[in-house]
């Protein structure tokens, strides 16, 4: 398992199968504070799975 990193994009899978996106705001060892983009209503923290992408958000610029 790799450690989460600042600004890393995450995917949260809720117990009902719905998926929400987020971004790491703070890291302390193996723990991370995550901003959830679609809101936290209905999120069961003990049953929600989090996948860390290993990359930060990217925007195309022209």
Confidence at 46, pLDDT banded by 50, 70, 90: very high
Q: How far apart are CA 5 and CA 41, in angstroms?
A: 25
Over 90: is that where the pLDDT of 19 sits?
yes
| pLDDT of the residue at 3 | 85
Q: How far apart are CA 52 and CA 62, in angstroms?
A: 28
Whole-model pTM: value is: 0.82
Beta bridge partners of residue 36, listed in sequence order: 22
Over 80: is that where the pLDDT of 2 sits?
no
Q: How far apart are CA 29 and CA 43, in angstroms?
A: 23
Average pLDDT of the segment spanning 3-22? 95
Strand pairing category for 31-36 and 49-56:
unpaired
What lies within 8 Å, CB to CB, of 25 at 6+ separation is 6, 32, 33, 34, 35
């Amino acid at each position: 398992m790799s450690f989460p990193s600042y600004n890393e994009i995450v995917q949260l899978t809720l117990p009902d199968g719905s998926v929400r996106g987020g971004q790491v705001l703070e890291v302390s060892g193996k723990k991370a504070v995550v901003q959830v983009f679609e809101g936290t209503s209905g999120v069961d923290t003990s049953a929600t799975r989090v996948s860390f992408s290993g990359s930060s958000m990217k925007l195309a610029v022209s």
